[in-house]
């Protein structure tokens, strides 16, 4: 048993530790006023700041404030000190659903009950514009009545975060549960991606094993991209038909939440109260910014910061290898008119340098939020006007990846500008141009020549890898 002091903020009493991760520990707690059991998640603020997970933590807080539902773990309150962040949450005494499944497949009626509760919870999230993006049995808890509770909204996102094309573009989740379009790097519908994950969970509940599994992750993704799975002979035909519609690799034709909830097999024994999107008692609104705000001044409206860039996760980092490039499953080789480089300069300096190059080359410059720039040459070439996209990603605050891509126009013209003008001009800010020297062998992935500039970058990379793949990797500086 581990304690972190007896009482938190004169409100909650700490008990034994229930679990821990890289940046957080979860304790059993008790509300001193009501006597109710709660879970207290304690996050190390310094570590979160160091590896650039501030936005992810804020998003988790904001999203959990939006989704008040009987089948979703409730966030009661968020508190913070100079060094720690505390989530006071609903306590799910029954533990993870994963523990039940790990002992073997569930009976059909039990599996259907959990699937019904899962679909109702996720459908409620979608009705509030929230996409979970990491649905799996490990993130489904059970209360003392055996009711399912969706938890861990660390990778969730609101629909307001979609790009101009109306799609999400961050590749995230857990490999075996992720939808094929999520790893295509062409954008995806968050609701349809969640539906796919729910289908994988249903298969796991009924069989006790994954529909897509392989020791070589590339081979596993190939199976996912083709929906290459086999139902056991004893599978009820109606479940087989439902799964075929959920695990449809084409998100456009994939079944919707509404159609799932109208399915006869799904509705069998369904508590109609579950489908009414019943909201539990309202809790006080939670200000996510306050957790990291040094003073009240930070609550003042701020101007958009165009130098704020997207963060990379494990999927993105690993897919930088041509041997491990997941987009190769979906994109033809001749479509990949792109180069990448890393830099230890701040995003503002990289943007400034790119704008200088564009001005010198007489290219029009368009600026978007999230560290995205678009260069365009007004005069048309053989294949129309040349357009170059530049996107900056943050690995840590002191280490960035920059992707330069030809979005349209003549390839020869693009290659000439890249070789003669852009690459030489970037010399002073480039740490290293991306090399294709990561490789796959015997089901394992080796990274032979990855340049890692400091300990923080290595720590951030290992955190992302562990979150996505469930194990730690050896990274040598």
Tokens of 51: 């590896």
> Residue 257 in contact with residue 195, Cβ under 8 Å?
yes
Query: HSE on the CB side for 382, CA within 13 Å?
Result: 5
Which one is catalytic: 55, 123, 134, 143?
134
Separation of alpha carbons 46 and 248, rounded Å: 42
Per the annotation, the verdict on 134 as an active-site residue is yes
Separation of alpha carbons 164 and 166, rounded Å: 5
Separation of alpha carbons 25 and 81, rounded Å: 16
41 annotated ligand binder: yes
Separation of alpha carbons 26 and 90, rounded Å: 12
Separation of alpha carbons 475 and 477, rounded Å: 7
Separation of alpha carbons 70 and 280, rounded Å: 6
Give the helix/strand (H/E) hosting 157.
strand 157-158
User: Long-range contacts for 360-365 (Cβ within 8 Å, ≥24 apart)?
Assistant: 360/421, 360/425, 361/417, 361/421, 363/388
Helix ranges (DSSP H) in 96-255: 97-101, 108-127, 190-207, 217-226, 237-246
Binding site feature residues for ATP: 41
Residues labelled as active-site residues: 134
Binding site feature residues: 41
């Amino acid at each position: 048993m581990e304690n972190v002091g007896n009482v938190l903020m004169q409100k909650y009493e700490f008990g034994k530790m229930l679990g821990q991760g890289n940046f957080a520990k979860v304790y059993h707690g008790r509300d001193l006023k009501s006597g109710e059991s709660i879970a207290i998640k304690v996050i190390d603020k310094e570590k979160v700041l160091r590896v650039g997970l501030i936005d992810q933590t804020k998003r988790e807080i904001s999203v959990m404030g939006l989704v008040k539902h009987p089948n979703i773990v409730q966030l009661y309150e968020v508190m913070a000190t100079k060094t720690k962040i505390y989530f006071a949450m609903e306590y799910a005494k029954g533990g993870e659903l994963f523990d039940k499944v790990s002992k073997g497949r569930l009976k059909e009626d039990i599996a259907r009950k959990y699937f019904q509760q899962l679909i109702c919870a996720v459908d409620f999230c979608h009705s509030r514009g929230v996409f979970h993006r990491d649905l799996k049995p490990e993130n489904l808890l059970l209360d003392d009545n055996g009711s399912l509770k969706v938890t861990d909204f660390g990778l969730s996102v609101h629909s307001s975060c979609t790009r101009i094309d109306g799609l999400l573009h961050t590749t995230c989740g857990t490999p075996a549960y992720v939808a094929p379009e999520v790893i295509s790097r062409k954008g995806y519908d968050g609701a349809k991606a969640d539906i796919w994950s729910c289908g994988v969970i249903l298969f796991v509940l009924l069989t006790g094993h994954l529909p897509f599994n392989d020791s070589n992750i590339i081979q596993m993704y190939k199976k996912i991209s083709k929906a290459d799975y086999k139902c056991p002979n004893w599978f009820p035909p109606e479940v087989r038909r439902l799964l075929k519609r959920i695990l449809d690799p084409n998100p456009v034709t994939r079944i919707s939440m509404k159609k799932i909830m109208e399915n006869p097999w799904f509705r069998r024994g369904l508590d109609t109260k579950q489908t009414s999107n019943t909201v539990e008692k309202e809790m006080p609104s939670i200000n996510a910014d306050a957790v990291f705000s040094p003073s009240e001044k930070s609550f003042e409206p701020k101007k958009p910061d165009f130098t704020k860039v997207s963060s990379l996760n494990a999927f993105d980092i690993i897919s930088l290898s041509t041997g491990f490039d997941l987009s190769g499953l979906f994109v033809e080789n001749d479509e990949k008119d792109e180069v990448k480089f890393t830099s230890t300069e701040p995003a503002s300096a990289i943007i400034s340098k790119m704008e200088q190059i564009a001005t010198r080359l007489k290219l029009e410059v368009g600026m978007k939020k999230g560290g995205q720039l678009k260069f365009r040459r007004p005069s048309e070439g053989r294949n129309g006007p040349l357009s170059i996209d530049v996107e900056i990603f943050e690995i840590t605050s002191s280490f960035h990846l920059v992707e330069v891509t030809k979005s349209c126009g003549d390839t020869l013209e693009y290659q000439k500008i890249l070789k003669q003008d852009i690459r030489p001009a970037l010399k002073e800010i480039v740490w290293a141009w991306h090399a294709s020297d990561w490789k796959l062998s015997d089901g394992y992935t080796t990274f032979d020549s990855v340049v890692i500039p400091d300990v923080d970058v290595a720590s951030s990379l290992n955190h992302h890898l562990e979150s996505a793949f469930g194990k730690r990797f050896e990274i040598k500086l």
